[in-house]
Amino acid sequence: MQKMDSRDMELPLLWEKALKLIGPEKGVVHLATAAVLNALWDLWAKQEGKPLWKLLVDMDPKTLLSCIDFRYITDVLTEEEAYEILQKGRVGNREREAQMLAHGYPAYTTSCAWLGYSDDTLKQLCSKALKDGWTRFKVKVGADLQDDIRRCRLIRDMIGPEKTLMMDANQRWDVPEAVEWMSRLAEFKPLWIEEPTSPDDILGHATISKALAPLGIGVATGEQCHNRVIFKQLLQANALQFLQIDSCRLGSVNENLSVLLMAQKFGIPVCPHAGGVGLCELVQHLIIFDYIAVSASLKNRMCEYVDHLHEHFKYPVIIKKASYMPPKDAGYSTEMKEESVKKHRFPDGEVWKKLLAGQEN
């Protein structure tokens, strides 16, 4: 196979630009673009014999910048400014790489406190997580205020006052409702409220952010952001204190790189979304690269971890002491096991045959 370099990324980017008339850069087309480009990054890293994070860390800044589309964001980040950020990130990067290899990137768990869990299940899962060394927990909120108060008190009592608690509303509230609801939950000292309202409502997030700041509660969002332009505006509007990139919602590694660099310019910590199938496997590469080569900081930074479905991947994440250990296998950790793909293939896979048979009955 012919060796790949940054020029090989140009054709997919041209293809993406040609689709602007039905977007641009959003919806199913953008998701499909991400899938294609993520696959190319996986191939590139495998040809270099490196995990993706290492490919990015070792890449010359000018080569890396050639993979980024700066359209629509030069009013906040020029290519020259991005180059300066990457050059500054080279200082001490080998020491930070060694730190990652030894200790990993801090993670938080979302697996303990989903809506609908009974109190017994919640207690059991929190107790196990504490024994496993977890110190950062996220709880789902937003369905019923009194139930949220009860559940958050239960969790805070279990984890104690020193450990970190986050809350996630998954877009449930209008803006005034979000402010009022979180004012009632402020006693539990959440670090952030995630997706308090529509992910498209930039000014709504800004209003919530301003209202909750005196309570010490930050706003986090990003898993449903269509593209770098939405992130640009969230940053410009001071609408978030924690930025949550998604390895598949954005246009692959290429677009995530631009958002990482914008976040660094604005001084906003990146705490990636990683709840879906395979997202933990992918996003670990991006956040490890961010620490080593861009932000050089772990302050208020952590990466989401959900403990399910990793068994379908050839190179599943490795968590030690509540931290992502840097992948060592070449590639983007995206490759699924052949038997899992076969089992879930539509419409002749075993899983789909059972579902379709059930519908017929």
State the catalytic residues.
140, 273
Exposure on the CB side of residue 301, measured as CA atoms within 13 A = 21
Lookup result for tokens 């076969």: 342
* DSSP secondary structure letter of residue 81: H
Of residues 336, 352, 299, the one with CA closest to residue 35: 336
Alpha-carbon gap, residue 129 to 111, rounded angstroms? 9
Alpha-carbon gap, residue 290 to 238, rounded angstroms? 21
- Dig out the tokens for 173 from the structure: 């509230």
Alpha-carbon gap, residue 73 to 144, rounded angstroms? 39
Residue 83 burial by Cβ neighbours in a 10 Å radius (0-12, 13-18, 19+): middle
Q: Which helix (H) or strand (E) holds 291?
A: none
* DSSP secondary structure letter of residue 337: P
Of residues 276, 274, 250, the one with CA closest to residue 263: 250
Which residues sit opposite 313 in a β-bridge? 336
Provide CB contacts within 8 A for 213, sequence distance 6+: none
